[in-house]
Amino acid sequence: MRALAHDDLLRRAEDLDLPDRHHIDGRDEPGGGTTFAVVSPRDGQVLGEVADARPAEVDLAVAAARRAFDSGPWPRLAPADRGRILLRVAELLEERREQLALTITLEMGKPITDAYEIELRAAINTFRWYGQLAGKLTDESPHTSPDALALVTREPAGVVGAVVPWNFPLTLASWKVAPALAAGCTVVLKPSENSPLSALLLGRIATEAGLPPGVLNVVTGDGPVAGRAIGLHPDVDVLAFTGSTAVGRHFLRYSADSNLKRVWLELGGKSPNIILPDAPDLEKAAATAAWGIFFNQGEMCTAPSRLLVHSAVAERVTEAIVARARELRVGDPLDPATEMGAMVGASHLDRVLGHIGTGVEEGARLRAGGERALAGTGGSFLRPTVFDHVHPGTRLAREEIFGPVLAVLTFDDVEEAVRLANATEYGLAAGLWTSDLSTAHRVSRALKAGTVWVNCYEEGDLTVPFGGVKQSGNGRDKSAHAIEKYTDLKTTWIQL
Protein backbone atom coordinates (compact mmCIF):
# COMPACT_ATOMS: atom_id res chain seq x y z
CA MET A 1 0.00 0.00 0.00
CA ARG A 2 2.96 2.34 0.46
CA ALA A 3 3.30 2.47 -3.32
CA LEU A 4 -0.08 4.19 -3.56
CA ALA A 5 -0.46 7.90 -2.87
CA HIS A 6 -2.93 9.31 -0.36
CA ASP A 7 -5.13 10.69 -3.13
CA ASP A 8 -5.25 7.31 -4.87
CA LEU A 9 -6.39 5.61 -1.69
CA LEU A 10 -9.05 8.26 -1.08
CA ARG A 11 -10.48 7.60 -4.54
CA ARG A 12 -10.40 3.83 -4.07
CA ALA A 13 -12.10 4.15 -0.71
CA GLU A 14 -14.90 6.20 -2.28
CA ASP A 15 -15.45 3.48 -4.90
CA LEU A 16 -15.85 0.64 -2.39
CA ASP A 17 -19.05 -1.38 -2.54
CA LEU A 18 -19.67 -1.85 1.17
CA PRO A 19 -22.01 -4.64 2.36
CA ASP A 20 -25.11 -3.80 4.38
CA ARG A 21 -26.91 -7.13 4.95
CA HIS A 22 -26.43 -10.17 7.16
CA HIS A 23 -24.92 -13.23 5.50
CA ILE A 24 -27.09 -16.20 6.45
CA ASP A 25 -27.31 -19.67 4.90
CA GLY A 26 -25.00 -18.74 2.05
CA ARG A 27 -26.76 -15.59 0.93
CA ASP A 28 -27.20 -11.95 1.90
CA GLU A 29 -30.21 -11.45 4.16
CA PRO A 30 -31.77 -8.00 4.79
CA GLY A 31 -33.28 -9.03 8.11
CA GLY A 32 -36.30 -7.40 9.65
CA GLY A 33 -35.73 -3.93 8.26
CA THR A 34 -34.06 -2.24 11.23
CA THR A 35 -30.59 -0.79 10.59
CA PHE A 36 -27.82 1.08 12.36
CA ALA A 37 -25.30 3.59 11.07
CA VAL A 38 -21.64 2.68 10.69
CA VAL A 39 -19.62 5.84 11.33
CA SER A 40 -16.02 6.22 10.19
CA PRO A 41 -13.78 7.49 12.99
CA ARG A 42 -11.45 9.16 10.49
CA ASP A 43 -13.96 11.94 9.75
CA GLY A 44 -17.20 11.19 11.61
CA GLN A 45 -19.06 10.49 8.37
CA VAL A 46 -21.61 7.70 7.99
CA LEU A 47 -20.30 4.88 5.82
CA GLY A 48 -23.70 3.26 5.47
CA GLU A 49 -26.71 1.73 7.19
CA VAL A 50 -26.25 -1.94 8.09
CA ALA A 51 -28.86 -4.53 9.02
CA ASP A 52 -29.43 -4.62 12.78
CA ALA A 53 -30.05 -8.16 14.02
CA ARG A 54 -32.94 -8.78 16.39
CA PRO A 55 -33.45 -12.17 18.05
CA ALA A 56 -35.41 -13.30 14.97
CA GLU A 57 -32.38 -12.84 12.71
CA VAL A 58 -30.14 -14.61 15.21
CA ASP A 59 -32.63 -17.49 15.22
CA LEU A 60 -32.40 -17.68 11.41
CA ALA A 61 -28.61 -17.77 11.50
CA VAL A 62 -28.45 -20.38 14.26
CA ALA A 63 -31.07 -22.52 12.53
CA ALA A 64 -29.01 -22.41 9.32
CA ALA A 65 -25.88 -23.39 11.24
CA ARG A 66 -27.78 -26.16 13.03
CA ARG A 67 -29.06 -27.65 9.78
CA ALA A 68 -25.61 -27.42 8.21
CA PHE A 69 -24.12 -29.27 11.16
CA ASP A 70 -26.82 -31.89 11.76
CA SER A 71 -27.53 -32.85 8.16
CA GLY A 72 -25.14 -30.93 5.90
CA PRO A 73 -21.92 -32.17 4.36
CA TRP A 74 -19.41 -30.03 6.25
CA PRO A 75 -18.85 -32.12 9.42
CA ARG A 76 -18.85 -35.26 7.27
CA LEU A 77 -16.24 -34.13 4.75
CA ALA A 78 -12.81 -35.64 4.95
CA PRO A 79 -10.73 -33.19 7.02
CA ALA A 80 -8.36 -32.67 4.09
CA ASP A 81 -11.32 -31.59 1.94
CA ARG A 82 -12.34 -29.06 4.57
CA GLY A 83 -8.75 -27.87 4.58
CA ARG A 84 -8.76 -27.28 0.85
CA ILE A 85 -11.74 -24.96 1.16
CA LEU A 86 -10.06 -23.02 3.97
CA LEU A 87 -7.01 -22.65 1.74
CA ARG A 88 -9.29 -21.24 -0.94
CA VAL A 89 -10.63 -18.72 1.59
CA ALA A 90 -7.02 -17.64 2.20
CA GLU A 91 -6.48 -17.23 -1.55
CA LEU A 92 -9.56 -15.04 -1.92
CA LEU A 93 -8.58 -12.94 1.08
CA GLU A 94 -5.26 -12.34 -0.65
CA GLU A 95 -7.02 -11.40 -3.89
CA ARG A 96 -9.31 -8.93 -2.06
CA ARG A 97 -6.59 -7.69 0.27
CA GLU A 98 -6.76 -4.05 -0.77
CA GLN A 99 -10.57 -3.94 -0.56
CA LEU A 100 -10.55 -5.51 2.89
CA ALA A 101 -7.75 -3.28 4.19
CA LEU A 102 -9.55 -0.15 3.02
CA THR A 103 -12.77 -1.36 4.63
CA ILE A 104 -11.06 -1.99 7.98
CA THR A 105 -9.39 1.42 7.90
CA LEU A 106 -12.68 3.15 7.17
CA GLU A 107 -14.68 1.34 9.83
CA MET A 108 -12.25 1.44 12.78
CA GLY A 109 -9.51 3.97 12.02
CA LYS A 110 -6.45 1.71 11.72
CA PRO A 111 -3.68 3.13 9.46
CA ILE A 112 -4.02 1.64 6.00
CA THR A 113 -0.44 0.36 6.03
CA ASP A 114 -1.13 -1.60 9.22
CA ALA A 115 -4.45 -2.87 7.90
CA TYR A 116 -2.86 -4.16 4.70
CA GLU A 117 0.50 -5.40 5.96
CA ILE A 118 -0.38 -6.64 9.46
CA GLU A 119 -4.11 -7.30 9.84
CA LEU A 120 -4.67 -8.89 6.44
CA ARG A 121 -1.45 -10.85 6.64
CA ALA A 122 -2.61 -12.33 9.96
CA ALA A 123 -6.08 -13.22 8.64
CA ILE A 124 -4.71 -14.80 5.46
CA ASN A 125 -2.09 -16.78 7.35
CA THR A 126 -4.68 -17.99 9.86
CA PHE A 127 -6.94 -19.55 7.23
CA ARG A 128 -3.92 -20.93 5.42
CA TRP A 129 -2.46 -22.46 8.60
CA TYR A 130 -5.69 -24.16 9.68
CA GLY A 131 -6.34 -25.23 6.12
CA GLN A 132 -3.02 -27.05 6.19
CA LEU A 133 -3.64 -28.43 9.68
CA ALA A 134 -7.14 -29.80 9.03
CA GLY A 135 -5.98 -33.04 7.38
CA LYS A 136 -3.23 -33.66 9.92
CA LEU A 137 -5.30 -34.00 13.10
CA THR A 138 -5.17 -37.43 14.69
CA ASP A 139 -7.12 -39.47 17.23
CA GLU A 140 -5.78 -41.81 19.90
CA SER A 141 -5.80 -45.53 20.61
CA PRO A 142 -4.50 -46.04 24.17
CA HIS A 143 -2.90 -49.31 25.16
CA THR A 144 -5.37 -51.53 26.98
CA SER A 145 -5.61 -55.17 28.00
CA PRO A 146 -5.37 -57.65 25.08
CA ASP A 147 -9.11 -58.36 25.11
CA ALA A 148 -10.22 -54.76 24.46
CA LEU A 149 -9.72 -51.89 22.02
CA ALA A 150 -10.05 -48.27 23.15
CA LEU A 151 -10.49 -45.36 20.75
CA VAL A 152 -10.39 -41.69 21.74
CA THR A 153 -11.76 -39.53 18.94
CA ARG A 154 -12.12 -35.78 18.56
CA GLU A 155 -15.51 -34.87 17.17
CA PRO A 156 -16.74 -31.41 16.15
CA ALA A 157 -18.65 -29.80 19.01
CA GLY A 158 -21.52 -28.39 16.93
CA VAL A 159 -22.68 -24.81 16.36
CA VAL A 160 -20.17 -22.17 17.46
CA GLY A 161 -21.17 -18.62 18.32
CA ALA A 162 -18.20 -16.29 17.78
CA VAL A 163 -18.44 -12.72 19.07
CA VAL A 164 -15.45 -10.55 18.20
CA PRO A 165 -14.35 -6.94 18.84
CA TRP A 166 -13.50 -4.02 16.60
CA ASN A 167 -9.78 -3.48 17.23
CA PHE A 168 -8.60 -6.30 14.94
CA PRO A 169 -11.91 -7.15 13.28
CA LEU A 170 -10.68 -9.61 10.66
CA THR A 171 -7.73 -11.10 12.54
CA LEU A 172 -9.73 -11.99 15.63
CA ALA A 173 -12.65 -13.27 13.57
CA SER A 174 -10.22 -15.52 11.71
CA TRP A 175 -8.72 -16.79 14.97
CA LYS A 176 -12.19 -18.07 15.94
CA VAL A 177 -13.68 -19.06 12.59
CA ALA A 178 -10.76 -20.90 10.96
CA PRO A 179 -10.08 -23.49 13.70
CA ALA A 180 -13.81 -24.01 14.30
CA LEU A 181 -14.32 -24.75 10.60
CA ALA A 182 -11.23 -26.94 10.46
CA ALA A 183 -12.69 -29.02 13.30
CA GLY A 184 -15.94 -29.50 11.36
CA CYS A 185 -18.13 -27.06 13.29
CA THR A 186 -20.52 -24.50 11.85
CA VAL A 187 -20.36 -20.88 12.94
CA VAL A 188 -22.51 -17.85 13.66
CA LEU A 189 -20.18 -14.83 13.72
CA LYS A 190 -21.21 -11.52 15.27
CA PRO A 191 -18.70 -8.70 14.75
CA SER A 192 -18.71 -5.49 16.76
CA GLU A 193 -21.28 -2.94 15.68
CA ASN A 194 -18.30 -0.57 15.21
CA SER A 195 -16.67 -2.81 12.58
CA PRO A 196 -19.25 -5.03 10.88
CA LEU A 197 -18.27 -4.46 7.25
CA SER A 198 -15.10 -6.56 7.00
CA ALA A 199 -16.84 -9.50 8.69
CA LEU A 200 -19.70 -9.35 6.19
CA LEU A 201 -17.16 -9.43 3.39
CA LEU A 202 -15.55 -12.47 5.04
CA GLY A 203 -18.92 -14.24 5.00
CA ARG A 204 -19.32 -13.59 1.28
CA ILE A 205 -15.77 -14.70 0.55
CA ALA A 206 -16.19 -17.93 2.51
CA THR A 207 -19.32 -18.82 0.55
CA GLU A 208 -17.55 -18.01 -2.73
CA ALA A 209 -14.66 -20.25 -1.64
CA GLY A 210 -17.00 -23.23 -1.42
CA LEU A 211 -18.33 -23.36 2.13
CA PRO A 212 -21.77 -25.05 2.03
CA PRO A 213 -24.77 -22.87 2.97
CA GLY A 214 -25.13 -22.33 6.70
CA VAL A 215 -21.55 -23.25 7.60
CA LEU A 216 -20.51 -19.62 8.20
CA ASN A 217 -23.22 -17.08 9.00
CA VAL A 218 -22.56 -13.43 9.85
CA VAL A 219 -25.09 -11.32 11.73
CA THR A 220 -24.54 -7.65 12.58
CA GLY A 221 -25.97 -5.85 15.57
CA ASP A 222 -25.15 -4.69 19.06
CA GLY A 223 -24.10 -6.77 22.02
CA PRO A 224 -27.08 -6.30 24.35
CA VAL A 225 -29.45 -7.63 21.66
CA ALA A 226 -27.68 -9.77 19.04
CA GLY A 227 -24.80 -10.85 21.27
CA ARG A 228 -27.16 -11.71 24.10
CA ALA A 229 -29.39 -13.72 21.75
CA ILE A 230 -26.39 -15.80 20.63
CA GLY A 231 -25.25 -16.29 24.22
CA LEU A 232 -28.68 -17.47 25.36
CA HIS A 233 -29.51 -19.57 22.30
CA PRO A 234 -30.13 -23.24 23.17
CA ASP A 235 -28.83 -24.43 19.78
CA VAL A 236 -25.42 -22.79 20.17
CA ASP A 237 -23.05 -25.40 21.60
CA VAL A 238 -19.88 -23.32 22.06
CA LEU A 239 -19.40 -19.58 22.57
CA ALA A 240 -16.04 -17.96 21.76
CA PHE A 241 -15.69 -14.32 22.75
CA THR A 242 -12.95 -11.70 22.62
CA GLY A 243 -13.67 -8.41 24.36
CA SER A 244 -13.99 -6.78 27.75
CA THR A 245 -14.02 -8.63 31.03
CA ALA A 246 -17.39 -7.07 31.89
CA VAL A 247 -19.03 -8.51 28.77
CA GLY A 248 -17.29 -11.84 29.34
CA ARG A 249 -19.15 -12.10 32.64
CA HIS A 250 -22.42 -11.64 30.76
CA PHE A 251 -21.64 -14.57 28.47
CA LEU A 252 -20.96 -16.81 31.45
CA ARG A 253 -24.36 -15.83 32.85
CA TYR A 254 -26.02 -16.48 29.48
CA SER A 255 -24.51 -19.95 29.48
CA ALA A 256 -25.79 -20.65 32.98
CA ASP A 257 -29.25 -19.37 32.06
CA SER A 258 -29.50 -21.45 28.87
CA ASN A 259 -27.93 -24.77 27.92
CA LEU A 260 -24.60 -24.57 29.82
CA LYS A 261 -22.77 -24.06 26.54
CA ARG A 262 -18.99 -23.92 26.85
CA VAL A 263 -17.76 -20.33 26.93
CA TRP A 264 -14.21 -19.49 25.89
CA LEU A 265 -13.10 -15.98 26.82
CA GLU A 266 -10.20 -13.79 25.74
CA LEU A 267 -10.65 -10.63 27.80
CA GLY A 268 -8.88 -7.49 28.92
CA GLY A 269 -5.33 -6.82 29.95
CA LYS A 270 -3.08 -4.38 31.78
CA SER A 271 0.14 -5.91 30.60
CA PRO A 272 3.44 -5.13 32.34
CA ASN A 273 6.61 -4.54 30.36
CA ILE A 274 9.65 -4.90 32.63
CA ILE A 275 12.97 -3.28 31.67
CA LEU A 276 15.96 -4.27 33.81
CA PRO A 277 19.18 -2.26 33.75
CA ASP A 278 20.99 -5.17 32.06
CA ALA A 279 18.66 -5.13 29.06
CA PRO A 280 20.77 -6.07 26.02
CA ASP A 281 19.80 -2.86 24.21
CA LEU A 282 18.09 -0.11 26.18
CA GLU A 283 17.39 1.93 23.05
CA LYS A 284 15.62 -1.01 21.45
CA ALA A 285 13.73 -1.71 24.68
CA ALA A 286 12.49 1.89 24.81
CA ALA A 287 11.60 1.95 21.11
CA THR A 288 9.69 -1.32 21.43
CA ALA A 289 7.86 -0.06 24.53
CA ALA A 290 6.76 3.02 22.58
CA TRP A 291 5.76 0.98 19.54
CA GLY A 292 3.81 -1.47 21.68
CA ILE A 293 1.63 1.11 23.43
CA PHE A 294 1.05 3.33 20.39
CA PHE A 295 0.53 0.61 17.76
CA ASN A 296 -3.11 0.34 16.69
CA GLN A 297 -3.80 3.53 18.69
CA GLY A 298 -3.19 1.53 21.87
CA GLU A 299 -6.42 -0.37 21.19
CA MET A 300 -4.96 -3.77 22.01
CA CYS A 301 -5.71 -6.15 24.86
CA THR A 302 -2.00 -7.05 25.01
CA ALA A 303 -0.74 -3.45 24.86
CA PRO A 304 2.21 -2.98 27.26
CA SER A 305 0.37 -0.20 29.07
CA ARG A 306 2.36 -0.55 32.31
CA LEU A 307 6.06 0.12 31.80
CA LEU A 308 7.97 -1.16 34.84
CA VAL A 309 11.48 0.21 34.56
CA HIS A 310 14.40 -0.02 36.99
CA SER A 311 15.05 3.28 38.73
CA ALA A 312 18.67 3.27 37.53
CA VAL A 313 17.59 3.63 33.88
CA ALA A 314 14.05 4.99 34.27
CA GLU A 315 14.68 8.54 33.15
CA ARG A 316 16.76 7.49 30.15
CA VAL A 317 14.10 5.06 28.96
CA THR A 318 11.20 7.42 29.66
CA GLU A 319 12.86 10.31 27.79
CA ALA A 320 13.29 8.11 24.72
CA ILE A 321 9.61 7.11 24.78
CA VAL A 322 8.48 10.71 25.29
CA ALA A 323 10.59 11.80 22.31
CA ARG A 324 9.00 9.09 20.18
CA ALA A 325 5.50 10.09 21.34
CA ARG A 326 6.09 13.69 20.31
CA GLU A 327 7.40 12.81 16.85
CA LEU A 328 4.85 10.10 16.02
CA ARG A 329 2.74 11.10 13.05
CA VAL A 330 -0.98 11.11 13.88
CA GLY A 331 -3.08 11.55 10.78
CA ASP A 332 -5.66 10.36 8.29
CA PRO A 333 -5.57 6.56 8.42
CA LEU A 334 -5.94 6.50 4.62
CA ASP A 335 -2.57 8.25 4.30
CA PRO A 336 0.23 5.64 3.95
CA ALA A 337 2.54 7.98 5.89
CA THR A 338 0.31 7.95 8.99
CA GLU A 339 1.78 6.11 11.96
CA MET A 340 -1.19 6.38 14.34
CA GLY A 341 -4.75 6.66 13.11
CA ALA A 342 -8.08 7.45 14.74
CA MET A 343 -9.61 5.98 17.87
CA VAL A 344 -12.60 3.80 17.01
CA GLY A 345 -15.17 6.48 17.77
CA ALA A 346 -16.07 9.65 19.65
CA SER A 347 -17.44 7.88 22.72
CA HIS A 348 -14.32 5.75 23.09
CA LEU A 349 -12.12 8.82 22.66
CA ASP A 350 -14.06 10.56 25.43
CA ARG A 351 -13.62 7.53 27.67
CA VAL A 352 -9.86 7.50 27.15
CA LEU A 353 -9.66 11.24 27.79
CA GLY A 354 -11.53 10.61 31.02
CA HIS A 355 -8.84 8.15 32.09
CA ILE A 356 -6.18 10.73 31.25
CA GLY A 357 -7.96 13.32 33.40
CA THR A 358 -8.13 10.81 36.24
CA GLY A 359 -4.39 10.17 35.92
CA VAL A 360 -3.66 13.87 36.33
CA GLU A 361 -5.99 14.07 39.35
CA GLU A 362 -4.25 11.08 40.92
CA GLY A 363 -0.92 12.91 40.84
CA ALA A 364 0.86 11.23 37.93
CA ARG A 365 3.09 13.47 35.81
CA LEU A 366 1.94 13.99 32.23
CA ARG A 367 5.06 13.89 30.05
CA ALA A 368 3.51 13.83 26.57
CA GLY A 369 0.16 14.06 24.81
CA GLY A 370 -3.04 13.88 26.80
CA GLU A 371 -5.15 15.85 24.34
CA ARG A 372 -7.13 15.52 21.14
CA ALA A 373 -5.47 15.87 17.77
CA LEU A 374 -6.80 17.00 14.38
CA ALA A 375 -10.04 18.26 15.93
CA GLY A 376 -11.07 20.06 12.75
CA THR A 377 -11.34 16.82 10.76
CA GLY A 378 -14.39 15.51 12.60
CA GLY A 379 -12.39 12.40 13.43
CA SER A 380 -11.54 10.82 16.78
CA PHE A 381 -7.82 11.47 17.13
CA LEU A 382 -5.66 11.50 20.27
CA ARG A 383 -2.04 12.41 20.78
CA PRO A 384 0.22 9.63 22.12
CA THR A 385 0.27 10.00 25.90
CA VAL A 386 2.93 9.20 28.51
CA PHE A 387 2.66 9.45 32.30
CA ASP A 388 5.43 8.83 34.80
CA HIS A 389 5.52 9.06 38.63
CA VAL A 390 2.55 6.68 38.55
CA HIS A 391 1.59 5.14 41.89
CA PRO A 392 0.81 1.40 41.61
CA GLY A 393 -2.46 1.71 43.52
CA THR A 394 -4.04 4.28 41.20
CA ARG A 395 -6.62 3.68 38.49
CA LEU A 396 -4.08 4.72 35.87
CA ALA A 397 -1.92 1.77 36.92
CA ARG A 398 -4.71 -0.76 37.38
CA GLU A 399 -7.54 -0.19 34.88
CA GLU A 400 -7.46 -1.09 31.21
CA ILE A 401 -7.65 2.12 29.18
CA PHE A 402 -7.51 0.66 25.66
CA GLY A 403 -5.81 3.67 24.19
CA PRO A 404 -2.31 5.10 23.51
CA VAL A 405 -1.69 5.89 27.18
CA LEU A 406 1.47 4.65 28.92
CA ALA A 407 1.88 4.49 32.69
CA VAL A 408 5.54 4.39 33.81
CA LEU A 409 6.30 2.88 37.22
CA THR A 410 9.74 2.33 38.74
CA PHE A 411 11.25 -0.42 40.90
CA ASP A 412 14.57 -1.10 42.62
CA ASP A 413 14.98 -4.89 42.38
CA VAL A 414 13.64 -7.88 40.47
CA GLU A 415 11.42 -9.09 43.29
CA GLU A 416 9.66 -5.72 43.43
CA ALA A 417 9.22 -5.78 39.64
CA VAL A 418 7.50 -9.17 39.81
CA ARG A 419 5.22 -8.00 42.63
CA LEU A 420 4.21 -4.92 40.66
CA ALA A 421 3.71 -6.93 37.47
CA ASN A 422 1.39 -9.42 39.17
CA ALA A 423 -0.56 -6.77 41.12
CA THR A 424 -3.44 -6.81 38.66
CA GLU A 425 -6.65 -8.74 38.09
CA TYR A 426 -5.50 -9.39 34.53
CA GLY A 427 -3.04 -11.94 33.17
CA LEU A 428 -2.89 -11.74 29.40
CA ALA A 429 0.69 -10.83 28.49
CA ALA A 430 3.97 -9.46 29.82
CA GLY A 431 7.37 -8.37 28.58
CA LEU A 432 10.83 -8.69 30.11
CA TRP A 433 14.15 -7.17 29.02
CA THR A 434 17.33 -8.67 30.47
CA SER A 435 20.66 -10.14 29.38
CA ASP A 436 20.71 -12.73 32.15
CA LEU A 437 19.38 -16.14 31.09
CA SER A 438 18.59 -17.26 34.62
CA THR A 439 16.70 -14.03 35.32
CA ALA A 440 14.74 -14.48 32.09
CA HIS A 441 13.62 -17.98 33.09
CA ARG A 442 12.93 -17.19 36.75
CA VAL A 443 10.93 -14.05 36.07
CA SER A 444 9.02 -15.58 33.14
CA ARG A 445 7.91 -18.42 35.40
CA ALA A 446 6.91 -15.99 38.16
CA LEU A 447 4.80 -13.74 35.92
CA LYS A 448 1.08 -14.60 35.89
CA ALA A 449 0.42 -14.20 32.18
CA GLY A 450 -0.59 -16.30 29.21
CA THR A 451 2.32 -15.00 27.12
CA VAL A 452 5.70 -13.64 28.22
CA TRP A 453 7.94 -11.95 25.65
CA VAL A 454 11.64 -11.75 26.48
CA ASN A 455 13.69 -9.00 24.80
CA CYS A 456 10.83 -8.37 22.36
CA TYR A 457 7.09 -7.67 22.38
CA GLU A 458 4.13 -8.90 20.30
CA GLU A 459 6.23 -11.52 18.53
CA GLY A 460 5.06 -15.01 17.54
CA ASP A 461 3.19 -16.90 14.86
CA LEU A 462 0.37 -19.42 14.39
CA THR A 463 2.37 -22.25 15.96
CA VAL A 464 2.00 -20.85 19.50
CA PRO A 465 -1.19 -20.47 21.55
CA PHE A 466 -2.59 -17.12 22.67
CA GLY A 467 -4.79 -16.40 25.67
CA GLY A 468 -4.82 -15.33 29.28
CA VAL A 469 -5.13 -16.31 32.91
CA LYS A 470 -6.96 -14.75 35.85
CA GLN A 471 -9.57 -12.25 34.60
CA SER A 472 -8.01 -12.12 31.15
CA GLY A 473 -9.92 -15.28 30.29
CA ASN A 474 -9.42 -18.93 29.46
CA GLY A 475 -8.84 -21.18 26.48
CA ARG A 476 -6.44 -20.43 23.67
CA ASP A 477 -6.62 -19.00 20.18
CA LYS A 478 -3.98 -19.87 17.55
CA SER A 479 -1.97 -23.08 17.25
CA ALA A 480 -3.29 -26.64 17.29
CA HIS A 481 -4.53 -26.02 20.82
CA ALA A 482 -7.35 -23.84 19.46
CA ILE A 483 -8.92 -26.96 17.97
CA GLU A 484 -9.55 -28.18 21.53
CA LYS A 485 -12.17 -25.47 22.05
CA TYR A 486 -14.28 -26.70 19.17
CA THR A 487 -14.12 -30.48 19.64
CA ASP A 488 -15.46 -33.09 22.06
CA LEU A 489 -13.47 -36.11 23.15
CA LYS A 490 -15.35 -39.38 22.75
CA THR A 491 -14.19 -42.68 24.20
CA THR A 492 -15.21 -45.87 22.41
CA TRP A 493 -14.42 -49.10 24.30
CA ILE A 494 -14.70 -52.32 22.32
CA GLN A 495 -14.60 -55.65 24.13
CA LEU A 496 -12.91 -58.11 21.78
Give the Cα separation of 254 and 250 in Å (integer): 6
Give the Cα separation of 307 and 323 in Å (integer): 16
Give the Cα separation of 106 and 334 in Å (integer): 8
Give the Cα separation of 414 and 392 in Å (integer): 16
Question: CA dihedral defined by 482, 483, 485, 487, rounded to 10 degrees?
Answer: 180
Q: HSE on the CB side for 400, CA within 13 Å?
A: 25
| Residue 344 near residue 109, CB atoms below 8 Å | yes
Phi, psi of 466 (to 5 degrees): -135, 130
Give the Cα separation of 96 and 55 in Å (integer): 32
The CB density around residue 394, as the number of other CB atoms within 10 Å, is 18
| Residue 411 near residue 307, CB atoms below 8 Å | no
Residues with Cβ within 8 Å of residue 453, at least 6 apart in sequence: 429, 430, 431, 432, 459
Phi-psi region of 470 (alpha: psi -120 to 50; beta: other; left: phi over 0): left
| Residue 239 near residue 163, CB atoms below 8 Å | yes
Q: Look at residues 208, 271, 329, 323 and name the one whose alpha carbon lies nearest to residue 470.
A: 271
Active-site residue, from 57, 119, 266, 484: 266
- Helix or strand holding residue 431 (H, E): strand 429-433
The CB density around residue 464, as the number of other CB atoms within 10 Å, is 12
End-to-end CA distance of the chain: 63
The CB density around residue 416, as the number of other CB atoms within 10 Å, is 16
Collapsing DSSP to helix, strand or coil, 106 comes out as: helix
Give the Cα separation of 54 and 492 in Å (integer): 42
Is 266 one of the catalytic residues?
yes
- DSSP code for 78: -
| Residue 368 near residue 325, CB atoms below 8 Å | yes
Give the Cα separation of 453 and 303 in Å (integer): 12
Which pairing describes strands 306-310 and 272-275: parallel, antiparallel, or unpaired?
parallel
Active-site residue, from 29, 193, 301, 400: 301
- DSSP code for 477: B
| Residue 302 near residue 428, CB atoms below 8 Å | yes
Residues with a catalytic annotation lie at: 266, 301
